[in-house]
Amino acid sequence: MGSWLFLFLVGLFLAASVSGVGSRNVTYDGRSLIIDGQHKILFSGSIHYPRSTPQMWPSLIAKAKAGGLDVIETLVFWNLHEPQPEQFDFSGQRDIVRFIKEIQAQGLYACIRIGPFIQGEWSYGGLPFWLHDIPGIVYRSDNEPFKYQMKKFVSKIVNMMKAEKLYASQGGPIILSQIENEYGMVEAAFRDKGPPYLRWAAEMAVGLQTGVPWVMCKQNNAPDPVINACNGRRCGETFPGPNSPNKPAIWTENWTSFYQVYGDEPDIRSAEDIAFHVALFIAKKGSYVNYYMYHGGTNFGRTAAAYVLTSYYDQAPLDEYGLFRQPKWGHLKELHAAIKFCLNPMLSGVYTSMALGKSQEAFVYRGNSVDCAAFLVNNDTRKTVVVTFQDSLYELPPKSISILPDCKTVAFNTAKVSTQYNTRAVETSKKLDSIVKWEEYKETIPTFDDTSLRADMLLEHMNTTKDNSDYLWYTFRFQNDFSDAEYVLNVTSSAHVLHAFVNGSFVGSTHGSFKTKTPILEIKITLNKGTNYISLLSGMVGLPDSGAYLERRVAGINTVKVKGEHEIKDFTRYSWGYQVGLLGEKLQVYTDSGSNKVKWNTYGSSTHQRLTWYRTLFDAPAGKDPVTLNLESMGKGEAWINGQSIGRYWVSFLTPKGIPSQTRYNVPRSFLKRTDNLLIILEEENGYPLGISIDTISITKVCSHVSESHLPPVISWQGQNKTEHNNSKKHHGRRPKVQLQCPPGRNISRILFASYGNPTGDCENNAIGSCHSFTSLPTIEEACMGKRICTIPVWSKKFGNDPCPGIPKTLLVDAQCT
């Protein structure tokens, strides 16, 4: 049978096994989850349905499957589904049933982490803000009002899944569910109300009779039969283990990078580091690893938590746009393949561990006389070491693990990356630099006289807006009897942003940060003699998403004073007028119909004002590449396309290196029409809309850097293994290889660099070294030009001869995809 036909039939079998043909029994023991009587080692990836679009789901799931994943995990977002009590929304990006069915259609398992407190860098931790108004409520504690609402929502989700027969016990793909989220981090804060709530949550979940196990993450005291699971980057080192010998070791969040907040640099986690800790966890009898995130996606609209970027986990194996992030995706795929070659001894053999040196150890699984798998670990972060294992020598690079699926031959080493690297490029499709195509609408700055909501005190921001807007206007008026030249306005706030206007004119602003919670504004102002109007705009950039007693958090303006030569006036206890949100929001000027309710003026026709709305039209870029909105010239605000918010932006908030945290914003193709797309920008500061452009994102370069000491592709290990067992001869076709692959629809059009010898540098910067084969470029061009995929062995004979005997060789190839 041809290999392609064999793989095709295997794929059909695997898809059928998760496609709902009969019920499936899911249990567990101290080794792993057990599905229909078979122990499983499973790799999972987080893909959150509302952080992408239904049109993206099939591709994302297919790429995850191709990367060696068995399970797709998602959180469930309560405030997205029940924005108001008993008003549910499961349409569009909220269609969790459609998402789970797509997972099932592609032959994968699913894990749903219902929470319903989820944190997840999602506004208010996923809790709907209307809970705040329920008398006597205390979130996540032994509190009847909260438990009633929590049980009602969790039951709603479970019953939806049951109605669609999506649990494995019904023949569906869901094999695992989660209740609560990292409660162990806050349990002690609730004192005697914490433990009973924990027990209740576990009993409530189990009582819903889903037929599949439940987990609690970062909850070492998870009540039986709920499984306690680990979150973090190093669970192979930090996880104390299951709290019962009858529970498996599960890793629910292996952070592939880290979420980013405005003002912070991106957190880059290498493919090598992720692979090391996954291999270590599995080597120590771990059985389930979930990558958080496998695809991060986008925090559309106002869904991001406090100070969190609109782009979410862009450094994941699949980036924000769904493109492969190499070498991360490919290196982990190789890791998964290597571990799956070890399944028989790992799941049925005897486990032992032994020291191989001061910082080296081996974890070994022995089955019958043939089945054996070993993980050789070097914990030394600086030295390459040679260890002896079963009378053979093995070289281990610093901080690395070698996987031997037969206890003899190394199939994979976590520190040796043979997968290609790729480069994401931006191409400008349309510059929106025509002044005649932009219009503007200036937001009205309300005064005390314009307001209807009044109070003789400063109201708390979140409880006043009810999360219906990021913005709350605080206004007051007062009489000034003096004509002093200078006054000072002093405002303290626990909101994220503050803009101050005096008598309709902007006078100053300030903002906090993720670490600095309380911004202070102190600015010189000029007052009229007589009545003066002060309008203060308090702004939130997402609601808090973590910590105990979330319902007690406060935001907004705390104190207001006006200091003059003659006196200091404290307006903290005073008559205040309030307006929730902006007038443009109320009129929905970001929609096609709403934008026609106000009078737009030609851009630049009058003096610039902070808080200005901008409008233009643009055509969608040709092709299928992901689209992005370049807002590098703007300050802070929000953007809408055809009425759909693509998220907040805050370009003016610079990192310590002096650059914005994010300038490009994802525009899903499904948001676009072919022509005349309506773009609305709300700009709080001094942005310049003529600098905006519509761009596309694509992979335009692929590069591979492989030496003779690298390992061959993992898939070739099986061939060697069989050959050695049958003939005791080395399989000479198994060599390190450079493998290049352009994205679909693109081929290799140019070899930018090629050197077989000892080239210097890497895929970012490279040069020919002292040893170089002059046939490098023609050999690579012959093998790769015009092709989408090409493979070249790192072998002197491929290049005619050895250009410098005795010198270790490397092949570095950098190619352009067109």
DSSP reduced 3-state for 249: strand
The identity of residue 458, as a single letter, is L
Whole-angstrom Cα distance, residue 690 to residue 114?
44
Report whether the peptide linkage leading into residue 759 is cis, meaning its omega lies within 30 degrees of zero. no
Per the document, the length of the chain is 818
Question: Which secondary structure element, helix H or strand E, spans residue 177, and what is its range?
Answer: strand 174-179
253 is catalytic: yes
Catalytic site includes residue 443: no
Contacts for 117 with CB less than 8 Å, ≥ 6 apart: 125, 126, 127, 139, 140, 180, 181
Q: Which residues contact 6 (CB under 8 A, 6 or more apart)?
A: none
- What's the CA gap between 221 and 87, in Å, rounded? 35
Angle 636-637-639 from CA coordinates, rounded to 5°:
130
Element (H, E) at 350: strand 350-355
Gap between the Cα atoms of 161 and 97, Å rounded? 7
Cα–Cα distance between 296 and 318 in angstroms, integer? 8
Q: Say which residues have a Cβ less than 8 Å from residue 288's Cβ, sequence separation at least 6.
A: 32, 33, 41, 42, 44, 71, 176, 248, 249, 250, 251
Phi, psi of 130 (to 5 degrees): -65, -20
Q: How far apart are CA 138 and CA 132, in angstroms?
A: 9
Q: Do 558 and 474 meet the contact criterion of CB atoms below 8 Å apart?
A: no
* Catalytic annotation, pick one of 82, 102, 180, 182: 182
CA distance 604 to 595: 18
Residue type (1 letter), 504: G
Out of 121, 253, 551, 683, which one is annotated catalytic?
253
Using CA atoms in the order 190, 81, 669, 581, what is the torsion angle rounded to 10 degrees? -80
- As annotated, the active-site residues are 182, 253
